[in-house]
């Protein structure tokens, strides 16, 4: 008698566990979709070491969504979003992508870490879901793109070009490159080196630091010894600010340029007075378009903090997607993809959007900023 009961109990427990696993999973969090709503997926690192950027981008996307909905939604329907955390990890990203597809999103916006976004491209492609990549821009993404992903952040080529152009304008003969070992940073360093050496010039130092590192004294000493005319930092603002401070304190007087990873206002805040005169290759943002001013104010009002480096691009990505859906006239994945590819003359706050055949940005959006008086302003 007891044994039978236990058997039953056991079977029940096992079955319950199995069903809780599988029954729950797809329904874990998709917002109930009513006929008047459309579900858009957001894939970003909202936990982990780069959570700051992921959260910032998610905020910007939600701001855009609220604006679109206030203006009547897209094709008459209200947009609701669901966020899947990719944790800047390739394996987690594939799970995130699968989850979004299971929730039957119409399209996805996001993609911060290039390494994590890479394996999701084929997943979205196979499922016929368009992806607008707001920030990730390593060149490896281009090769692996089956055609359903669109990158609205200019690639490394254009960014390197901008930096090199400025170095040359300032008469710099030798440069030092610093990366942080991430896919995007290493990519940019390689491209810059290639272009610089193709111009017949020398790269005298090429260093890689670890993210999270705070002490760069050894690096600084090495750079001071080699004394390049210019330094290009290709990583994010946390280490960028520290490196800048430590270089300047050591008496380094050359030209310092930082990449778009460090274009957040936080860079200036962290580097303090040493940020003055530092240049930045960045997507045009902030003070350069009237529309951007209200974006900053709205973002500040809604989230009680200043927008980060990729907030503008994420905001644009969402608006672009809404625009494409409207042009496509339907929620069909292929139609949206075609509409995205045909984008012409879309003005985002980061500049005009137009795609090449490889689904990368048609013209370089990058501008050169300089830190002056506590904020970024256009340098040229």
Partner 1 sequence: MAETKMKEISLKPFERGTERLFELFDNKIVLISYIILTLVFLIYLPLNSSRFTQQIMTNFFFFVVVCLGLNIIIGFAGLLNLGYAAFIAVGAYVTGILSATYGINFWLTLPFSIVAAIIAGLALAGPTLRLRGDYLAVVTLGFGEIVRFTARNVEFTGGAVGLIGIERPVFFGIVLNQITHFYYMFFILALLAIITSYRLRASRLGRAWEYIREDEDAASAMGINVVSTRLYAFIIGSCFGALAGSFFAVKMTAISPESFTFIHSVMILLAVVLGGMGKIPGVVLGALFVTLFPELSRGIGQYRMVIFAFVLLVIMLYRPQGIWPDRQGISTKL
Partner 2 sequence: MTLWDILLQQLFNGLLIGAFYGLVAVGYSMVYGVIKLLNFAHADIYMCGAFCGLILLTFFAPNIGNTWFGIVVALLISMLVVGILGVVIQRVAYQPMLKAPRLSILITALAVSMLLYNAVLLMTQGQVRAFRTGIVDESFFVGSLRMTDTRMVLLISALLLMLILHLFITRTMYGKAMRAIALDHDTCRLMGINVHKIIALTFFVGSALAAAAGIMAGVHYGTVHFFMGFLIGLKAFTAAVIGGIGIIPGAMLGGLFLGLLEAFATQIPFIGTAWKDVFSFAFLILFLIFKPHGILGRRVSERM
Q: Give the binding site for partner 1 (CB under 8 A).
A: 3, 6-7, 10-11, 14, 18, 21-22, 24-26, 28-29, 46-47, 55, 83-85, 88-92, 94-95, 98-99, 101-103, 113-116, 118-119, 122, 127, 138, 140, 143-144, 179, 181-183, 185-187, 190, 208
DSSP conformation class of 32: P
272 binds, options partner 2, partner 1, none, Cβ within 5 to 8 A by partner type: partner 2
Tell me whether residue 224 or residue 377 sits nearer to partner 2 (CB atom).
224
Does 207 contact partner 2 by CB under 8 A?
A: yes
DSSP conformation class of 77: B
C-alpha span between 73 and 323 (Å, rounded)? 11
C-beta neighbour count of 298 within 10 angstroms:
17
153 binds, options partner 1, partner 2, none, Cβ within 5 to 8 A by partner type: none
> Between residue 157 and residue 186, which ones bind partner 2 under the rule CB under 8 A?
181
Q: For residue 36, which phi and psi values (nearest 5 degrees)? A: -90, 15
List 169, 213, 344, 347, residue binding partner 2 (CB under 8 A): 213
- In whole angstroms, the minimum distance from the beta carbon of 275 to partner 1 comes to 26
List 25, 29, 199, 218, residue binding partner 2 (CB under 8 A): 218
84 binds, options partner 1, partner 2, none, Cβ within 5 to 8 A by partner type: partner 1
Q: Strands 174-179 and 149-151: what pairing?
A: unpaired
C-alpha span between 205 and 223 (Å, rounded)? 7
Chain position carrying tokens 């196979």: 126
List 39, 50, 101, 138, residue binding partner 2 (CB under 8 A): 50
219 binds, options partner 2, partner 1, none, Cβ within 5 to 8 A by partner type: partner 2
Tell me whether residue 217 or residue 293 sits nearer to partner 2 (CB atom).
217
Contacts of 301 (CB under 8 A, 6+ apart): none
> Between residue 263 and residue 292, which ones bind partner 2 under the rule CB under 8 A?
266, 269-270, 272
Contacts of 192 (CB under 8 A, 6+ apart): 160, 163, 164, 175, 177, 232, 234
- In whole angstroms, the minimum distance from the beta carbon of 330 to partner 1 comes to 23
Write the DSSP assignment of 253-292 as a string of letters: -SEEEE-GGG-SHHHHHHHGGGGTT-EEEE-S-GGGSHHH
Residue pair 54/95 in contact (Cβ under 8 Å)? The answer is no
List 133, 241, 309, 367, residue binding partner 2 (CB under 8 A): 241
Tell me whether residue 92 or residue 379 sits nearer to partner 1 (CB atom).
92
Q: Where are the alpha helices (DSSP H) in the chain?
A: 2-24, 51-70, 90-102, 114-117, 120-127, 140-144, 156-169, 183-198, 217-226, 237-249, 265-271, 290-303, 311-328, 333-341
Tell me whether residue 165 or residue 211 sits nearer to partner 2 (CB atom).
211
Does 245 contact partner 2 by CB under 8 A?
A: yes
How many residues appear in the chain?
380
Does 203 contact partner 2 by CB under 8 A?
A: no
Intra-chain end-to-end CA distance of the chain, in Å? 87
Which residues here bind partner 2, judged by CB under 8 A?
47, 49-55, 181, 207-210, 212-215, 217-219, 221-222, 224-225, 237-238, 241-242, 245, 249-251, 266, 269-270, 272, 305
């Amino acid at each position: 008698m007891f044994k039978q009961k236990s058997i039953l109990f056991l079977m029940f427990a096992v079955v319950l566990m199995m069903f809780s696993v599988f029954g729950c999973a797809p329904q874990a969090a998709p917002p109930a979709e009513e006929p008047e709503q459309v579900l858009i997926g957001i894939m970003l690192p909202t936990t982990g070491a780069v959570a700051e950027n992921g959260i910032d981008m998610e905020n910007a996307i939600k701001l855009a969504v609220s604006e679109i909905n206030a203006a009547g939604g897209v094709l008459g329907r209200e947009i609701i979003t669901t966020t899947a955390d990719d944790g800047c990890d390739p394996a987690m990203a594939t799970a995130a992508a699968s989850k979004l597809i299971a929730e039957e999103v119409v399209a996805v916006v996001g993609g911060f870490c290039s390494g994590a976004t890479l394996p999701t491209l084929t997943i979205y492609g196979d499922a016929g879901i368009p992806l607008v990549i707001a920030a990730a821009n390593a060149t490896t993404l281009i090769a692996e793109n089956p055609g359903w992903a669109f990158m609205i952040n200019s690639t490394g080529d254009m960014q390197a070009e901008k930096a090199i152009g400025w170095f040359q304008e300032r008469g710099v003969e030798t440069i030092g490159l610093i990366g942080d070992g991430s896919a995007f940073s290493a990519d940019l360093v390689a491209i810059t080196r290639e272009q610089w050496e193709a111009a017949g010039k020398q790269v005298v130092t090429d260093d890689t630091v670890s993210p999270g590192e705070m002490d760069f004294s050894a690096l600084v000493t090495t750079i001071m010894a080699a004394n390049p005319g210019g330094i290009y930092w290709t990583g994010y603002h946390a280490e960028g600010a520290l490196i800048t401070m430590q270089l300047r304190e050591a008496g380094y007087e050359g030209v310092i340029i930082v990449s778009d990873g460090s274009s957040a206002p936080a860079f200036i805040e962290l580097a303090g007075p040493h940020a003055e005169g530092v240049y930045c290759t960045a997507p045009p943002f902030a003070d350069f378009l009237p529309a951007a001013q209200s974006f900053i104010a709205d973002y500040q009002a809604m989230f009680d903090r200043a927008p980060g480096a990729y907030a503008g691009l994420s905001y644009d990505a969402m608006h672009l997607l809404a625009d494409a859906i409207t042009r496509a006239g339907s929620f069909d994945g292929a139609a949206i993809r075609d509409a995205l590819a045909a984008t012409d003359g879309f003005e985002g706050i980061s500049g005009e959007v137009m795609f090449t055949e490889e689904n990368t940005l048609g013209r370089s959006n990058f501008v050169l900023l300089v830190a002056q008086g506590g904020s970024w302003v256009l340098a040229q």
